[in-house]
Structure 1
Amino acid sequence: MTLSSLLRAICLSLVATAAALAAWSLSPQTTGTAGAGAVGPEGMHLRSRALVYRLDERRATRFVFSQPVTLARVLSTPLIEPSEWEAGAAWSYGYRVTLFDDGGVVVGSRDIYSTGANPAKLERPIDLVRYIRGFGNSIATQDQAVFESAIPFTAMDIVGLSPAEGVAAIDVRAYELRPVLNDAAAIATYRRRSDAERRDLVRANAFPEEYITDMERRNVVINQWRPIGPSGILGQDYDMSVLYTGVMHPAANDPGADAGEQ
């Protein structure tokens, strides 16, 4: 093997290793506790993780859609000052969404005001923990807003509005409806999924997966929201974090619980 061939093989190996590590670090997880190499408070069982984007009051974060759309969805999550987490129960915050067509013309703008609560202090408490590295787990319940325009839009700017006292930051995720060309393409997309993914897609249906019609399968695929990311340069045009969501292991709250209980 020549020196140039050896160097090329080493470079390809390094690239493959980096790609594998990136895929592992952002792939969904359904189990795991906060032990060695884990995240979150001790005893947290990780259920999922997602990329979120920090809003700025002075700079808009722009999201670009894969094609012109008439519907968009935003999930917002307020991060609460740790000193306010135990003292308060709910916190208000807001953000502004501006929609643009493919020529850069504004086709709509809307201010959204929401409230996030401490999951443990709801009337019906939720055994849910959210965590971000470098911040902690004083993260309130999320909210969603759906934006509709008669004129198709291709980009969306989101800027944070001045939050109420106690809100340290606002993280968001943006979604578009999965583009599907026709009924046949939608059904083919559904059939390419694994058995577990199909069951998950139709879990809201009254009938088991094997009993639903092709039209119902089509509707499940067409009505799927797909996450989209912001445009620009990370750290310059937008800021990104990983939001971990899980539940507390019984042993973390009950010293007498069976250590093997799941």
Structure 2
Amino acid sequence: MRLLGRLCLLALVVFLVWPLAQRYVLAPVTGLFWATSPQRANLPEEAEQSTVFWLESADWLRFSLAENTPTLRILSHLQMQPEQDAEEALVRYALDYRVLARDGEVLTSGRYHYKAVTLPPRPLADGREFPARFYDDPTLVASAAENLFVDLSALTGAVTLELRAAYLPEPRNRVGVQVTGRETRSREEVGRLWPRLKPETRDRLLRPHVYPPHLVSSFEIENALQLRWVPLGPEGVAGDDFASDYLYTLSVPPAPPAEAEQALPPGSTPIRTSGSPCPWTMTVATGWRFSPPTRW
């Protein structure tokens, strides 16, 4: 009985002390080994998460290239402060790129300047409005993405891509990039891959098509799967050689303009007489159309 009483007392002590141990002992120790980025508590379900890598002005960010990569796509944007997100604000940024051979020879290089603009907020199904592109930190603003395509087909021995920020409006701004390389699958590989894809992946791949996935022809499916863009990551150790963050993009169309339901279709001109509206409307596409009023 004495042993049973001691076990019950020990279980009671562990039950009372365990929440404090989790908060003040286990959490700091776990954070030393698994560092996670805090996420928004109200993250929309429509948000698609991706990783962006930040460019430095002094050091080049290096990406290793696979053999037979014909084209590179560099997707860049500017991380801005809230006061820079104004209609009259003119915010610009620039980045440098260069492609190197194995011996360090510069095969091609360039500098591109961009105007940073923000997209209008997106309405969600639950009635909320969210930025079209945003971070975990709600105090920062993400500009629209800008595309830069680098043709490698005429370059021999390209093994490395290097990027750096050439111009920043303010020291607090950062240029984020996402680099992908184009690859081409064979028709045999496409035929084996399509049945194994998830329905969500099929819908995303065939989103630009007019018809739903079950009505798309086999030739269109092959064209959608043959060409793909493979994400590339920078060389080095995260946190030491490069910095990264999560970027969220809403795949939701923007809200219609105010009073859009009252706007006439293109080519329509209502004819009005003095004092009362005319029930006849002239449209270029359909000709005269009679719309009887509710009351004469």
What TM-score do the two structures reach when normalised by structure 1? Answer: 0.68
Structure 1 counterpart of 2:225, one-letter code: V
Deviation of the 1:86 alpha carbon: 4.2
CA distance 1:215–1:135, change in 2 (3 Å): same
> Max radius of gyration: which structure?
2
Task: Please give the per-residue CA displacement for 1:132-151, whole angstroms capped at 9, x wherever unaligned.
Answer: 34573322222111111312
Structure 1 counterpart of 2:64, one-letter code: V
RMSD value, Cα:
3.4
Task: Please give the per-residue CA displacement for 1:139-184, whole angstroms capped at 9, x wherever unaligned.
Answer: 222211111131253321001102235871111110011353x220
Paired residue secondary structure (1:79): strand
d(CA) in 1 for partners of 2:87 and 2:221? 47
d(CA) in 1 for partners of 2:148 and 2:172? 19
Contact 2:119/2:143 (CA < 8 Å) preserved in 1?
Answer: yes
Paired residue secondary structure (1:67): coil
Structure 1 counterpart of 2:112: 112
Does residue 177 (structure 1) correspond to residue 177 (structure 2)? The answer is no
CA distance 1:195–1:75, change in 2 (3 Å): same
CA distance 1:139–1:222, change in 2 (3 Å): same
Structure 1 counterpart of 2:210: 206
Task: Please give the per-residue CA displacement for 1:19-65, whole angstroms capped at 9, x wherever unaligned.
Answer: xx99xx79xxxxxxxxxx7517x686661111111100100101113
Structure 2 counterpart of 1:237: 241
Structure 1 counterpart of 2:229, one-letter code: W
Give 1:160's match in structure 2, choosing from 132, 148, 165: 165
Paired residue secondary structure (1:52): strand
Q: Of the two structures, which has the highest relative contact order with CA contacts closer than 8 Å and spacing of 6 or more? A: 1
Deviation of the 1:130 alpha carbon: 3.1
Structure 2 counterpart of 1:143, one-letter code: E
Contact 1:119/1:140 (CA < 8 Å) preserved in 2?
Answer: yes
5+ residue gaps, structure 2, are 1-30, 122-128, 253-296
5+ residue gaps, structure 1, are 1-17, 27-36, 249-262
Segment of structure 1 superposing worse, 170-179 or 112-121: 112-121
Does residue 192 (structure 1) correspond to residue 196 (structure 2)? The answer is yes
Structure 1 counterpart of 2:93, one-letter code: Y
d(CA) in 2 for partners of 1:236 and 1:38? 22
Deviating beyond 6 angstroms after TM superposition, the runs of 4 or more aligned structure 1 residues are none
Task: Please give the per-residue CA displacement for 1:117-139, whole angstroms capped at 9, x wherever unaligned.
Answer: 13249xxxx96343334573322
Paired residue secondary structure (2:69): strand
d(CA) in 1 for partners of 2:193 and 2:103? 32
Does residue 132 (structure 1) correspond to residue 135 (structure 2)? The answer is yes
d(CA) in 2 for partners of 1:201 and 1:44? 21
- The number of equivalent residue pairs is 212
d(CA) in 1 for partners of 2:200 and 2:138? 34
Contact 1:93/1:167 (CA < 8 Å) preserved in 2?
Answer: no
